[in-house]
Amino acid sequence: MCGIVGYIGGGSAGAKRIVTDGLKRLEYRGYDSAGIALAVNGRLVVEKAVGRIANLEEILKASPVDSHAGIGHTRWATHGAPSQANAHPHTNADGSIAIVHNGIIENYAELKERLIAEHGVSFRSETDSEIAAHLIGLFYKGDLLAAVREAVREMRGAYSICAMAAAEPDRIVAVRKDAPLIAGIGENCNFLASDIPALLKHARMIYLIENNETVLVTRNDITIFNERMEAVKRDVFHVTWDADAAEKGGYDHFMRKEIFEQPAGIAETLNRRLDEKGEIKLDGISLTKEDLDRIDRIYIVACGTASHAGLVGKFAIERFARIPTETDIASEFRYREPYIDDRTLFVCISQSGETLDTLAALREAKSRGARVLSVVNVVGSSVARESDDVFYTWAGPEIAVASTKAFTTQLVCMYLLALYMGRTRGVLSDAEYARVLSELSQMPDKLTALLEDEPKIRDIAKKVYKNENIFFIGRGSDVSVALEGSLKLKEISYIHSFAIAAGELKHGTIALIEQGSLVIVLASQDRLFEKLLSNIEEVKARGAYVIGLAKAGNREIEKRSDEVIYIPACADEVTPILAVVPLQLLAYHVAKLRGCDIDKPKNLAKAVTVE
Ligand code: M6R
């Protein structure tokens, strides 16, 4: 995720080191390029580098310039690939205004056209952010504060922007709308940043900037203005966290932080793909009726958690788009002479976009003539670059090895894709399309409510964390959730666990069920509930301790289980988005009680780039 740092102090030096140090504190969030703008003798000096901040430092070391004021940025690519041109800061035409920006300017295409047509502006990057530099430059009449305010009136979207003007080296102006921004009080200096860790070395007294507020920072003052440009009073927030806790936003672990980021990630993934009328838009992805008529088969291929999202994707595509869909894990797919031709749509799913098995499967599918559409979280990653079309998840960087928010945003992408394909092929009624879309749009709120049940899950974890064998069963799309819950548990708590379709138990695995066996029953599918009841009876009869997970309102499950976890009521088709979350929390709390290294489990890596 992008990061912002701004600094203004006294003398004529210091900004170079302080800003780059601040950027380094944001490295953990993930980035692909970095840059800095310094106010030097009436002009702005901008330096940028692709890759690590160390690359930027090399460039800065070679340059004698320094300043009392500067703004810096780490970029996590959204619009445009990771490159020097797309890295921030961006400047206006004559380089007199520099900005760094986090978030998305949604109407950038429209603004860009206007700037080109009416003002002859020429753009140097593919980013939405560059718009902000040109707009501020156009409105600038010697007052940066006024120019920034005027510019943001033109913009729609979510952003925090930090700006400097060559002619006003003693002021930095920043503005916030739906993207984090803080101002920090230092000793004879002041700061701006997107996140607390960036400032922690120098400032522990901070102002939390709120939406639609603008902040003017000088060496001695920080003034916050509301939307009407009236100065507002803000209480100082004293940061007591250490650097490590600050990086995790006050959470104990990245995994827990990322679990709690899911409502926002899902909302973002949805918002990116819904137009003003609430219809699905697949901008940049070509799936016309003609394209879809040419497709007679879909393969969904991925590894680990992403492959479980693929299983749900298969359900959704076959249910809503009526196209035969196969799923496979990438390491098997590539060696099994798959039946693929130019009428095949190959969908690969990957958080990192760097998983070697997935990449190899993609290449195999391409070489056999398939068209490749990938669902990826990391912009500009290898999978994204080698695909014909990319459907990005907007989960933000996922740092914990155990994948959580990537999974739920992948599910959202698969549902959107399935609904879009069904509608375009004319096999899904308008009413069905609207019903499921409305269910999806309720997910962020339902998930927020569900996360409030964490204490209950923690209590269950206390009862079960000493088990050495845990079974997960379910039917329909609950099988995918069972597989994901089981994977989460084993990878971070090192408990042996096994997931299986409930109806398959009696064909062998039930031999393992004995007095005290722990069985987690996923019972979110109303239409399959009665069938599942007999499976619950089968394991109970052999002495199993049953934890049932069902929709709120299902009282029957209470009679049959030793513990019950409820998820908010929703349509059967979309339950995986909710049902997986208590299992993520259960795995987390069990692992914590067992004293495991949750964010970096043994033997595992975040991106598996070996075969
Ligand atoms: O980056 P990818 O989505 O391609 O990664 C695939 C798997 O390696 C990944 O999901 C892995 O299973 C996670 N550790 C699961 O939590």
Q: What is the pLDDT of residue 606?
A: 77
User: Residues 353-400: pLDDT tens digits?
Assistant: 989 899 999 999 999 999 999 999 987 778 988 999 999 999 988 889
Between 194-203, 521-530, 593-602, the lowest mean confidence (pLDDT) is in 194-203
What confidence category does residue 70 fall into, taking pLDDT thresholds of 50, 70 and 90?
A: very high
- In ligand 1, the atom with minimum distance to the C-alpha of 403 is 16
Pocket lining: 608 vs ligand 1, CB cutoff 6 Å: yes
Rounded distance between C-alpha atoms, residue 345 and residue 321, angstroms: 13
For a substitution probing ligand 1, which of 259, 608, 610 has the most ligand atoms within 8 Å of its CB? 608
- In ligand 1, the atom with minimum distance to the C-alpha of 304 is 12
Q: Report the CATH architecture of 3-240.
A: 4-Layer Sandwich (3.60)
Report the separation in Å between the CA atom of 403 and the middle of ligand 1, taken as the mean of its atom positions: 6
What confidence category does residue 80 fall into, taking pLDDT thresholds of 50, 70 and 90?
A: confident
Rounded distance between C-alpha atoms, residue 506 and residue 99, angstroms: 63
The pTM is what?
Answer: 0.78
| Residue 106: Cβ within 10 Å count | 16
- List the CATH code of the domain at 454-593: 3.40.50.10490
Residue 370 identity = A
Report the separation in Å between the CA atom of 406 and the middle of ligand 1, taken as the mean of its atom positions: 9
User: Residues 268-281: pLDDT tens digits?
Assistant: 999 989 998 999 99
Rounded distance between C-alpha atoms, residue 498 and residue 404, angstroms: 19
Answer yes or no: 2 catalytic.
yes
Phi, psi of 378 (to 5 degrees): -95, 115
Tokens representing 71 are 């703004």
Rounded distance between C-alpha atoms, residue 503 and residue 534, angstroms: 9
247-441 and 454-593 in the same fold: yes
Residue 424 identity = T
Phi, psi of 206 (to 5 degrees): -135, 160
Active-site choice (112, 366, 600, 606): 606
- In ligand 1, the atom with minimum distance to the C-alpha of 355 is 4
Instruction: Please check the confidence at residue 256 and state whether its pLDDT lies above 80.
Output: yes
Report the separation in Å between the CA atom of 352 and the middle of ligand 1, taken as the mean of its atom positions: 8
User: Residues 521-544: pLDDT tens digits?
Assistant: 999 999 999 999 999 999 999 999
Rounded distance between C-alpha atoms, residue 223 and residue 144, angstroms: 14
Pocket lining: 306 vs ligand 1, CB cutoff 6 Å: yes
Rounded distance between C-alpha atoms, residue 518 and residue 509, angstroms: 13
Q: Report the CATH architecture of 247-441.
A: 3-Layer(aba) Sandwich (3.40)
Residue having the nearest C-alpha atom to atom 7 of ligand 1: 304
Instruction: Please check the confidence at residue 115 and state whether its pLDDT lies above 70.
Output: yes
- In ligand 1, the atom with minimum distance to the C-alpha of 352 is 1
Between 160-169, 340-349, 600-609, the lowest mean confidence (pLDDT) is in 600-609
What confidence category does residue 443 fall into, taking pLDDT thresholds of 50, 70 and 90?
A: very high
Q: What is the pLDDT of residue 1?
A: 66
State mean pLDDT over 569-581.
Answer: 97
Is the distance from CB of 456 to CB of 551 less than 8 angstroms? no
Pocket lining: 65 vs ligand 1, CB cutoff 6 Å: no
For the chain, the first-to-last Cα distance in angstroms comes to: 28
Q: How many residues does the chain have?
A: 611
Instruction: Please check the confidence at residue 611 and state whether its pLDDT lies above 70.
Output: no
Sorted by where each begins, the domain ranges of the chain are 3-240, 247-441, 454-593
Rounded distance between C-alpha atoms, residue 567 and residue 578, angstroms: 6
